[in-house]
Structure 1
Amino acid sequence: MSINNRESQNNLVDNYHSALLGIQHLLAMYSGAVLVPLLIGGALKFSAAQMTYLISIDIFMCGLATFLQLFTNRIFGIGLPVILGCAIQAVAPLEMIGQNFSIGTMYGAIIASAVFVFLIAGLFAKIRKFFPPLVTGTVITVIGLTLIPIGFVNLGGGSATAKSFGSGNNLIVGLFTILVVLVCSVYGRGFISRIAVLIGLLLGTILASLMGMVSFKAVVDASWFHFPQPFYFGTPRFEVSSILTMIAISLVSLVESTGVFFALGDITKKPIGEKDLKKGYRAEALAGILGGIFNTFPYTTFSQNVSLVQLSGIKSRQPIYYAAGFLMLLGLLPKIGALATIIPTPVIGGATVIMFGMIAIQGIRILEKMDFSNNKNILVAAISIGAGLGVSVEPNIFQSLPETVRLIFSNGVVIASLCAVLLNLIIQPDRVTNKIKNPAGSVKQQEN
């Protein structure tokens, strides 16, 4: 066999593996991506036809938004293996705007807030010095810990108020999925261990199907082709309070994205600088502008896919290119895209419990580098993690605050981020620097 033929076959195998990893990334974020249109469309009483469009174009835009981050250039794109999806923290304010004003006002606020983010991206990137390892490790840990309960709710059936929640069937398929992912990760060789989550989702769905838990009705009812239409639900309207509300939510998303960027930078060994952050923020802003034009939603970097990069060991962008392409294809072909909706919620829950736990561990690994013989470092991490988890468990603690303020402060990740940044500035561990352990156990200095 000639060298050229061998290289061709190796490239074919690499592309095949990357495509499978791309599918794994798609399946990992799919439920989170469709959750936002389901919630908002339901709250605004959309018809079946409107919901079909909303979900399909949302999936298409997730792919397009991801491409904006992957294609790094001088203006936008951070160039990390990231997946973008709908910002879940935008659900409540968008429902409020749509119900109190109009759908057009909702999309006007999305466009205006995205333009604002694009314009201040460079300024926001300058606060990088406020995110030393002590802060980013704390925030990433809280992101993972606050997502784990969502995975457990899905494992039980998706709704704690449902009669079938925690049923034997739900627990069996959810725990079976966890077991498959565990076995494939620990005992699988080579590529098998890298696609452990995908194998878990597939085998879990097969078991659920044998138990009568899988319905193909969504596939049968979906149309074959759907093309994006600008202003499908009407032209945007611009209202000041709605715009200010969405600007606040957009800044929250930037804080979360910053933590994800640093987590992926740590995993891929790529230093994240001010220019990288600025281009990353701009890509999300452009995705939000397009989301408003095509009547979808704001888009942010999905933290749940960080764990897949860690779990698979594949740190290149090639699988993400495939994932983005598949997302756009599924958005154009609703009947094929609906296939992903047949995965039962407990199966998704079983897989995401592991994935969300991996995010928390990534944050702990960053914190592990810190010198915790310094009580100031302990206080910053302890208070921030405690406040973030406390708010996540009991968000009604801020129910007496105004609606817009309450929407922001009921987010555990935001509270943890604010606490970590402010406490790090006020307490000033080691004044200008945080002490970080080197592998030998001694201590070195890292600038804030």
Structure 2
Amino acid sequence: MWNQSNIQNPDNTHNQSNGPSPEHEYLGLGKSVAYGLQHVLTMYGGIIAPPLIIGNAAGLSSAGIGVLVAAALFVGGLATLLQTLGIRHVGAQLPLVQGVSFAGVATTVAIVTTSGGLQAVYGAVIVAALIGFLLAPYFSKIIRFFPPVVTGSVITMIGLSLLPVAVRWMMGGNSQSPEWGSTANISLAAMTLGIVILLNLTRNAAIRRLAILMAIVSGSILAYLLGFGDFSTITEGAWIQTPGLFAFGLPVFEATAILSMLIVTLVIMTETTADVIAVGEIVGTEVDSKRIAAGLRADMLSSAIAPVFSSFMQSAFAQNVGLVAITGVKSRFVVAAGGVILVILGVLPVMGRLIAAIPVPVLGGAGLVLFGTVAASGIRTLAKIDYDEQKNLIIVATSIAVGMIPIIDHDFYAHFPGWVQSLFHSGISSTCLMAIFLNVLFNHLRFFKTTTKTITRPERMPDTQH
């Protein structure tokens, strides 16, 4: 625990000689809870979406889907605490929020509908996660293949791949709704976006850091006054509900399901590696192979335990990386407070219903800034690259273009084998894999490697001709 003398301004940069690294700062209980709630609101829609999709595919009743949602919140909170606080060799101890991974949704739905239901899914998750746990120290060695030309491309794509989510939220979240894309929905999102901008124009640093939370609360109140959303169901149903163990039966272990989930695990490990590097870049702290391995172990351990509480594969949430960037609050204890809030939401359904009642366009207005901030952080990293070297331009251009393919057209890989779809369904994993491949091709293979070794642009006087 940090004592009072260790508490520093989160906007300052620290090193070992003059204080703790930014991620190790403790800001006090009040600020930690407020900033932690901001993180929860940012990722709430993302964490409940996978159990909703999977539950409907499994044909569960509304009560059964409710169990999956509560389990996702509860396990996501525990996983976040493990990732941020950490135990020996487990947990990156960085401000990373954990939750059910979107990367495994398609595979999970396929297993549910063709290979034995939820019990087969849980068996596959347990085995694949344990294998991933054992692979973590070896997988983390790929850090040497992540120079700025790769990390900048990946971080930029994290932001770009999230922007369609914000746009869908702005339009209403449900394309089947008659209100989808209505002027009212988009106007509400625009007003929330306007509130975020106005709050960031103030000179008060505390208000700027809480701008997202305050904008979401203000937008929700404004929505209520204008007749948006349904807040009447908040008090309906149970107020306290503890998560059960193996609520849908004991896991079943099937070889085909395990193999499919193992491919998903490799994709998740790739994306988590990118997220760890991205948040380390934003926080301004060193990320080495040991830290990546610790983060991957936290991912895999929490994923292996998740089926016990009826949840699924866990991974770091990229949207919260943007919140760290835009607020400048880099403390892992803030995100740990968010983890505690998620655990509470998992056992207090009434609180979950309160947050779920927030109109989706409100989240969309705030999300537009958050996700754009992630892309801006990637662009800042890419600014370090020396584009006089043609190879760097090719790496950045090609990897980002390939990453945009599944974002532009979700069916691009529809006729490819399942393992190809699993690897390239995400713009993040597509960019990451292509950037690593091209970086190895141009900078590590002797046959193609050029004589110059400069990767980042050296310090020099501005060129007035360009």
Give TM-score scaled by structure 2 length: 0.90
The residue aligned with 2:377 is 362
RMSD, aligned CA: 2.3
Cα separation, 2, equivalents of 1:79 and 1:424: 28
Tell me if structure 2 keeps the 8 A contact 1:143–1:413.
yes
Cα separation, 2, equivalents of 1:151 and 1:430: 41
Give the deviation of 1:395 after TM superposition.
Answer: 2.8
Partner residue of 1:436 out of 450, 456, 463? 456
The residue aligned with 2:183 is 168
**Which residues of 2 match residues 389-428 of structure 1 at below 5 A?**
389-428=404-443
Give the deviation of 1:435 after TM superposition.
Answer: 1.7
Cα separation, 2, equivalents of 1:32 and 1:441: 45
Helix, strand or coil for the counterpart of 1:371?
coil
Greater CA drift, 261-270 or 218-227? 218-227
1:441–1:396 CA distance, 2 compared to 1 (3 A): farther
Cα separation, 2, equivalents of 1:393 and 1:80: 32
Tell me if structure 2 keeps the 8 A contact 1:53–1:226.
no
Give the deviation of 1:187 after TM superposition.
Answer: 2.2
Cα separation, 2, equivalents of 1:177 and 1:57: 30
Tell me if structure 1 keeps the 8 A contact 2:85–2:332.
no
Is it true that 1:73 corresponds to 2:93 in the alignment? no
Query: How high is the sequence identity, in percent, across the aligned residues?
Result: 34
Is it true that 1:295 corresponds to 2:310 in the alignment? yes
Tell me if structure 1 keeps the 8 A contact 2:26–2:331.
no
Helix, strand or coil for the counterpart of 1:109?
helix
Cα separation, 2, equivalents of 1:134 and 1:399: 30
Tell me if structure 2 keeps the 8 A contact 1:395–1:411.
no
Cα separation, 2, equivalents of 1:84 and 1:5: 28
Tell me if structure 2 keeps the 8 A contact 1:121–1:278.
yes
The residue aligned with 1:43 is 57
Cα separation, 2, equivalents of 1:59 and 1:403: 29
1:218–1:430 CA distance, 2 compared to 1 (3 A): farther
Which deviations, in whole Å up to 9, do the C-alpha atoms of 1:78-121 show, x marking residues without a partner? 11011001101111110110111221101101111100110100
Tell me if structure 1 keeps the 8 A contact 2:35–2:334.
yes
Greater CA drift, 196-205 or 397-406? 397-406
Give the deviation of 1:427 after TM superposition.
Answer: 2.1
1:228–1:247 CA distance, 2 compared to 1 (3 A): same
Is it true that 1:280 corresponds to 2:300 in the alignment? no
Which letter does structure 1 place at the counterpart of 2:76? Answer: C
Partner residue of 2:98 out of 66, 69, 84? 84
Tell me if structure 1 keeps the 8 A contact 2:387–2:393.
yes
Is it true that 1:107 corresponds to 2:122 in the alignment? yes
Tell me if structure 1 keeps the 8 A contact 2:228–2:359.
yes
Which letter does structure 2 place at the counterpart of 1:160? Answer: S
1:369–1:386 CA distance, 2 compared to 1 (3 A): same
The residue aligned with 2:356 is 341
The residue aligned with 1:445 is none
Cα separation, 1, equivalents of 2:355 and 2:152: 33
Cα separation, 2, equivalents of 1:311 and 1:116: 36
Is it true that 1:61 corresponds to 2:75 in the alignment? yes
Tell me if structure 1 keeps the 8 A contact 2:91–2:295.
yes
1:257–1:7 CA distance, 2 compared to 1 (3 A): closer
Which letter does structure 2 place at the counterpart of 1:275? Answer: K
Which deviations, in whole Å up to 9, do the C-alpha atoms of 1:108-152 show, x marking residues without a partner? 011111001101001101111111111111011111111101101
1:5–1:415 CA distance, 2 compared to 1 (3 A): closer
The residue aligned with 2:202 is 187
Greater CA drift, 377-386 or 241-250? 241-250
The residue aligned with 1:252 is 267
The residue aligned with 2:341 is 326
Is it true that 1:152 corresponds to 2:141 in the alignment? no
Give the deviation of 1:210 after TM superposition.
Answer: 1.2
Helix, strand or coil for the counterpart of 2:227?
coil
The residue aligned with 1:138 is 153
**Which residues of 2 match residues 194-205 of structure 1 at below 5 A?**
194-205=209-220
Which letter does structure 2 place at the counterpart of 1:63? Answer: G
Helix, strand or coil for the counterpart of 2:99?
strand
Cα separation, 2, equivalents of 1:303 and 1:402: 27
The residue aligned with 1:446 is none
Query: Tell me, which stretches of 5 or more residues in structure 2 are unaligned?
Result: 10-24, 444-448
Query: Tell me, which stretches of 5 or more residues in structure 1 are unaligned?
Result: 443-448
**Which residues of 2 match residues 379-390 of structure 1 at below 5 A?**
379-390=394-405
Cα separation, 1, equivalents of 2:399 and 2:314: 26
Tell me if structure 1 keeps the 8 A contact 2:399–2:431.
yes
Greater helix percent: which structure?
1
Greater CA drift, 238-247 or 401-410? 401-410
Is it true that 1:353 corresponds to 2:368 in the alignment? yes
